[in-house]
Amino acid sequence: MGDPRAVAGIEEAATDRQDLHTEDVEGLMRALLTVDIARHLGIVLLKPGSKLMPLFGAGRVLVEIPPASMKKIPSGRLPDARQPLRDDMGIRPFFMKKAVITAAGGVCDLESWLRRQVKNCQWTHSDYHHHELVPFRHSTGVIMACWHCDNELKNQTGQTLDQLVGVNNADWVIDTARIALGLDAQRSLSLAELCWWAVGAGIGDEITEEMARRSLRIKDDGIKSVYRESEIVPSVPATSILSPRLEKTIKPTAITTPGKPLVPVNVDPVAPATLFARPKRIRWLSADFISWVKKQPCMCCGQPADDAHHLIGWGQGGVGTKAHDIFTIPLCRKHHRSLHHDPAAFEREYGTQPVLIIKLLDRAYSLGVLS
């Protein structure tokens, strides 16, 4: 009967072992199953086990044959979605740029993201691993290693460390861009979407020659060692073609947006209350700003926000009062409830509230919402 294998779930998966692999992400489960075919009965037999039975609870599953391109994927837990850009070495230099890391949130955000995502030491060339992980910074990124392997990484070549850092940077930037564009975890980010995120983040000039060439669909003829004079054809870099187009796209926004801010912020350096020894606290209220915050994606999952959460703790809020409307972040109902249920656990997983507020304010000022 050969080796009949089927993929049940949202995406196809592949492995060289005849095992079961599952992943439950936001209610979606995937499994690679080995099947037995009873041809005389015209049925296919599956033995998923008790842990995989919820996969069949809806009554219908998607079944696909694993493509040959996925045979090299190692056995084990599968990511949310296959991200072709992650392993594309032609785009890897883009993820290693300092400006790209800064636009995505900075090295500190990258480190926090890796602490949540990485559960095992990323340096696999060791027989012993300590259970506690520590960040090892190299170049523009971070590697999560145990205490034992942290010392070994210091003796590795820059090329080896760049490979590990490049994968982490790519995973994080792709995830950040996906959330910023409002895409769910099952979506594979395309090159066009990555470039669009770069333009929106103000780093369009960091788009590499390879990315620009692919975006403009310019054929790569390669470089020969010897040319005939008749074969020499003048050409220009793809980035030089893309740059004027980016300027036309960005310049009108830069001129018109600051002139019409959604919420103007007025500054009064000699406000009367500053002359009082014990001035009365007056909350800053802005229905327009709260309305804009509710239209932004949730800062935890990227889904449409339901609420504008006001800062609690950190010396703000209290009985019968709230923080200023400027100290708000967009959250979906699920994460808003989890924040109020256990603020400490929420901040450990998604970052502190002040940091999230700073990110939102940076976005608001960058887009001209506040001026």
CB 81 within 8 A of CB 186: yes
pLDDT of 321 = 74
Name the pairing type of β-strands 5-8 and 63-64: antiparallel
- For residue 283, pLDDT over 90 is answered with no
**Residue pair 31/8 in contact by the 8 Å Cβ criterion:** yes
Q: pLDDT, tens digit, for every residue of 286-332?
A: 888 888 898 899 999 888 888 899 888 887 766 667 888 889 999 99
Q: Which residues pair with 63 in a beta bridge?
A: 8
CA nearest neighbour of 368 among 269, 193, 250, 287: 250
What pLDDT is recorded for position 16? 34
Side-chain-facing half-sphere of 168: CA atoms under 13 Å: 31
Give the sign of the dihedral formed by CA 258, CA 260, CA 262, CA 266: positive
Task: Look at residue 168 and give its three-state secondary structure.
Answer: helix
Percent of the chain with pLDDT over 90: 20
The answer on pLDDT for 170 being more than 90 is: yes
Give pLDDT, residue 256.
Answer: 35
pLDDT at 180 > cutoff 80: yes
Is residue 154 predicted with pLDDT exceeding 90? no
The pair of structure tokens assigned to 10 is: 């949202």
Q: What is the pLDDT of residues 183-239, one digit of tens each?
A: 887 788 999 899 989 988 889 889 988 888 888 887 766 666 676 766 666 566 767
The yes-or-no verdict on residue 11 having pLDDT over 90 is no
| pLDDT for 143 | 92
Quickly state the pLDDT bin for 368 (edges 50, 70, 90).
confident
In the numeric block, which tokens belong to residue 354?
């002040």
Pick the most confident of 78-87, 115-124, 216-225.
115-124
Residue 298 CB: number of other CB atoms within 10 A? 23
Which is more confident, 253 or 270?
270
Please tell me the distance from the alpha carbon of residue 339 to that of residue 326, in angstroms, as a whole number: 18
Q: In this model, does residue 252 exceed pLDDT 70?
A: no
Q: Distance (Å, rounded) from C-alpha 62 to C-alpha 30?
A: 10
Contacts of residue 330, Cβ cutoff 8 Å, sequence gap at least 6: 293, 294, 295, 296, 297, 298, 299, 305, 307, 308, 309, 360
How confident is the model over 342-363, as pLDDT tens digits?
989 999 999 999 999 999 998 8
Name the band, by pLDDT with cuts 50, 70 and 90, for residue 27: very low
Q: Give the three-state DSSP class for 316.
A: strand
Among 204, 164, 195, CA closest to 177: 195
* 254 has a pLDDT exceeding 80: no
Least confident of 64-78, 168-182, 217-231: 64-78
Q: Hey, what amino acid is at 248?
A: K
What is the per-residue pLDDT for 258? 41
* Banded model confidence at residue 71, pLDDT cuts 50, 70, 90: low
The pLDDT value recorded for residue 26 is 38
pTM above 0.85, yes or no: no
DSSP assignment letter at 145: E
What was the pLDDT predicted at 114?
Answer: 92
In angstroms, rounded to a whole number, what is the distance separating the alpha carbons of residues 259 and 54?
Answer: 54
Least confident of 135-149, 187-201, 267-281, 302-316: 267-281
